[in-house]
Each structure stands twice: as C-alpha cells, then as structure tokens.
Amino acid sequence: MDEKIAYYLISSLIDRVEHGPVGSVSDVEKEALKVALRVLTAYSSTSAEVAKVASADVARVVKQAEEAVADELNDEPEVIEPEAIESSAGANLSIEPPELDEPETVELVLDALHVGAPSDPGYLLCLDFGTASSKACATNGRRHFGLELGRAVGSEGFTLPSSIFVDDGKVYFGFEAIDRSESMVDAGRQRLDSIKSWLSFADQVNIDTLVLSEALNPGPTRLTQGDFLRIYLAYFTDIATTQLTILPVGGAPLGRFMKRRYARPCGRDAQQAAWVDTLMGRLLSEAQILADTFHGQWEGGIDIRRLKAAVDEVRKLEHRPEFLIGDGVPEPVAVAAAAVESSENRIDAYMVVDAGAGTTDFGLFLALRNQDMDEPKVIQVAPSIKGSGQAGDKIDQCLQAFIGQREGFDPKSTHGAMIEADLRRRIRVLKELLFTAGTLEYTLADRTVGSFTREEFCNDRRVQLFAQLLQKGFVDALSDVNESYLDYLARDPVKLQVILTGGSSRLPMIRDLAHGVIEVKGRKISRVPVEAMPDWMEHATEAMRSVYPQLAVAIGGAEEHLPSTDFAPEEWFRKTHSSVVATRDQISGM
C-alpha cells in the first residue's frame, strides 16, 4: 500500500475515533496501520514528507486503497527485512541514518550590475504586482505596449497569476502553480495566491524572519515570506523583461534592463506606505538578479533548494541594480495618469476606485483646463489617496463561508478540512461563475452538489456588511480633503465622475460605488460612472481594450507625467459656477 494512502486512511480513522463510536476497523485501515508501523520502524525523509500531507477526497482515497490492497493480494507476500525489525520480542530497532544532501550552490548572474545604467533611454516600464494577477506595460511616450505575459508562458492574455505552489521539492509559478495544485487531491495543502497581501496592510516587520507553514511550504527547505516575494517577483520580472526584447519596435530590440516604476497599494497610512515603498524598491532590484539567474528555467518548476540558495546569495550582495527602479506609484494615481487625459471641461472631478483582489484604493483627482492648455492639468488631492482591505479576496471568503454554512460541514474535521481546502483552491473561479451567470452550481470534494443564485448570495449578511464597508471607504477617502473641494463637489449640478478599474471592478457592490448620493461632512455629493480611458486605446486591439480595467494601473504607471500634488487654485472654483456635468460637452460661461 502506498504510504500517502495509508496516511489518508489513518486520518479518517482518527477522525472517527474523535467524533463518535469508532465501530469496526476495516481491512484497508488495518493495512494502513501496518504501513505506519513500517514507517515508524524505518524512519526516512520520505515518511517525514508524507506525514505533512493531510487527508483528501475520502471516497476516491478509499477506492485507491482498496485497489492497492487487491493488487498486493495478487502479488507475493511482502517480506519485512530482519534489519528493520529484529524480533517481535522487544529487540532494539536498527535505524539507518539518512544520507545528508550536499548544500546547494548557485552562481548568480550579475549582468544587471555590470551594465551600470538602464537600457533604452526614453522608455519606461511599469510593473503592477497584483494580489490575484500581475501586469506590465511599457511606453516611450508615443507608443504604448501592453505586455502579453499570459501568452509568454503558454497561456493567453496580458495577466500572470500571482500564484506559487510547492510540491515534491519544486516551486511552480503562475498558471502552472494553479494547474499543479488543482490536479492534486491532497487536503491540507495550500497554494500561495495572495502574497501581495503580506505587504498591503502588513505591520512593519522583518519579512525575512516569517517562515511559512508546512501547508504552504512542505519539506525540509524552509522559506520565509521574503524568500517567496523575491522569487515570485523574479519570475514576474523575467517574463516581463523577456517580452520587452521581442516587441516590434523596429531597429535594435529593446533590452531587459529598462527603467521601471512599480505600482503599489495606498497602504494603511503614510508610514506603512513608506515602508512598502522602501521594501519594494529593494525586492525588485534583487528580483532582477534572480530573474537573470533563472532566466528561462521556470517551466516545470525549480528545485526549492536552488531558489533558497540563490536568494541567500543575493541578500549578501553589497550592491544591487537600484538604478533600474524608479518611484512607487499609488495605484489610483497610476490610473488617473492616463484615464483622464481626454477631459474637456474647465474642471472635471474624478474619483478613481481601483478594486483588486487584496485592496480597493480610492483617490480624488481634478482635471483643470483653460484656453492656453492643449491637455488638462491633472491634480491629485493627496489626502484622498487611501486604501481599504475590502476587496475581491473578502468576497472569496464570504462565498466560501456561505457555501460552508449551506452544506454544514465542519472545517475542523478531516472530512471538512478536505472540502475547505478544495474550495479554497477553486473559489475565485466559482466567484467568477456566480457573478457572470447569475447562478452557481457546484460540486464539493465529497461529491455534494448544490446551487444558489447571485441574489441569494448578495443578500447574505456578510456580503451586505462588505458593501457597507466599501461605501464607508469611499466616504472616508473624501473626509480628509480640504473643505473647498467638498463645497465644489456639492454644487448643483456638479457630478463626481467615478472611474472603476481593477479585476474586481465588475462586482455589483463595486459598481454601486459609482451611483447615488453620498454625504460627506454635511455635503451631499452626486456620483455618476464614467468609462474614462486614454485616447490611444481607440487604436489598440480589441483584446487589450476588453481588459483595460485590469491593465489601467500598469498603463498609467508607465506614463512619463503623473498627476501633480499642487493645490487647485480656489479661483478656479469661484469662476466655475454650475457648469460641470457628467457629459463631455464643453462648458459655457468661462
């Protein structure tokens, strides 16, 4: 019998013992106990690995176990070597000491340090490391390039899943991490899907001391949050910069060492945001060295020991290619840099709501124009740049809890843990199906079948609370701005134009943020949705236009000029009486 199958069956037996009368012990459970005896008698690194794996699909496991026992009954009886068990009368056990592997060594590729300066003057790359998926765009001011990261790794599209999965001593990334984890039936194993959340609202801690759990990182090579952040960013960096080299720019191809900005969440407060800024700059510069070191080796997974050895070496370097890394850009600021360039009125007020998987970020912007300006001047109202933890991942948690409550399984039991682990791996897909089709029909890991409608889910108290906290986040983002802005926004018929971007922007509770009237410090402010995007997107491919909400941060973050933080002159407000509306019609009376 396979050791993993034995472990599953023993887990099931223990679960029965803990939760009620055990009844009779089945033949396959007896066989599993024999395997456990052999494992304990001749301890090996393999058995230690097995002991870290939790129970999976019970019905499937029992079938596999029965087949395994049937096969063994047809074979010659198994002989237990005398060295393993010398006698049944309490003789000393003979345990062979395990052979120790030689430490892994990796020679770093330091090309980025040797070039000394960014390649391709006039070009700028923006890396948008997202909670659910990562995106990248580049521009030279005249041409804009959305990098097809998905296609680069054998899938499709412009996005790269921000996922990592560790299995059998290897680390898998992106789509391959998802595929690998979905094909496994082992419960208790988890895929890393939201590693950016370690930064978004985290306390200022040393990420190189936070070792991950065995469910996320099984095996003897222990990695920290800092290790995983570096190696994912290396993967992302390598795929993005490799795509740069094949862009159709004419003449000499672009290089891998383009100057880059990075998008960052707004953070819990200014101090936390500054910590993330400093940390991201260092991680991305180290990631370029790791990207060059493991260039082209990602497919099929990379030995976790080699990755750990390389990370340890790169952390020892006295110098990093920090000259490649520009400023971090708050995500709503990046959106506004490109999205409001077509503003035509004397003043247009915009609220950017960038709703991702890990955070929903807010920002108020004004586009100011007079007769002397070819393009509007875009001003960010700095106190409004705020983030909220109410985002797509929270809806995932609500959906998992909603299904669990409907089906009534106990996540603390082996059976319930198996169902919950399977649900967690699939929850984003289930969410997409629910909100796209309006109805979700699901099958749990134990073959339980169920269904419910989008309306039923949205009426759940947890989802209602989520929607209320989102609306509160919108109001909070406006609460700290100068009251002259609020006075202007409350004028009739001024409308606050709401731009929704990000992977979660199609959720109904996110869309509700662009409608209705809110009250901020006694002022009533009307909101209307607007689909603002840069003019050049009219000539982009349909594939790129269709995913603009997801690409908006990366596109705007690559713009040369970002919204300024100047204070809008009050005379602009005084001269603008009641002319700003939600349309693009030119205002009068100026």
Same CATH fold assignment for domains 331-390+469-575 and 392-462: no
Output the six-digit token pair for 92.
């000393």
Show me where the domains of the chain are located.
111-320, 331-390+469-575, 392-462
- Total H helices, total E strands in the chain: 21, 17
What count of other Cβ atoms lies within 10 Å of the Cβ of residue 526?
17
**pLDDT surpasses 80 at 137:** yes
Output the six-digit token pair for 429.
């897909």
**Which helix (DSSP H) or strand (DSSP E) does residue 308 occupy?**
helix 304-316
Give the model confidence (pLDDT) of 484-518 as tens digits. Answer: 999 999 998 899 999 999 999 999 999 999 999 99
Domain 331-390+469-575 has CATH 3.30.420.40: yes
E strand residue ranges, 29-146: 124-128, 133-139, 144-146
Q: Which residues of 203-221 are buried (b: 16+ CB within 10 A; e: fewer)?
A: eeeebeeeebebbbbbbeb
Output the six-digit token pair for 56.
């999976």
**pLDDT surpasses 80 at 449:** yes
Enter the DSSP assignment of 35. H
Q: What's the pLDDT at 475? A: 98
pTM above 0.85, yes or no: no
Give the CATH fold of the 111-320 domain.
Nucleotidyltransferase; domain 5 (3.30.420)
Mean pLDDT of 237-264: 93
Mean pLDDT of 291-306: 97
Nearest to 173 by CA among 236, 104, 89: 236
Q: What's the pLDDT at 89? A: 37
Range in 74-88, 228-242, 353-367, 385-399 the model is least confident about: 74-88
Q: What's the pLDDT at 93? A: 38
- pLDDT class of 391 with cuts at 50, 70, 90: very high
> Span 392-462: which CATH code?
3.90.640
**pLDDT surpasses 50 at 582:** no
User: What is the C-alpha R_g of the chain?
Assistant: 28
The whole-angstrom separation of Cα 22 and Cα 37 is 21
Beta strands at 164-167 and 160-161: parallel, antiparallel or unpaired: unpaired
Range in 13-27, 98-112, 204-218 the model is least confident about: 13-27
DSSP labels, 489-553: HTSTT--EEEEEESTTTTSHHHHGGGSEEEEETTEEEEEEE-----GGGGGS-HHHHHTHHHHHH
Q: Name the more confident of 25 and 59.
A: 25
Sign of the C-alpha dihedral computed for residues 555, 560, 566 and 570 taken in this order: negative
Q: What's the pLDDT at 87? A: 35
pLDDT, averaged across the chain: 82
Give the model confidence (pLDDT) of 422-447 as tens digits. Answer: 898 899 999 999 999 999 999 998 89
The whole-angstrom separation of Cα 422 and Cα 442 is 12
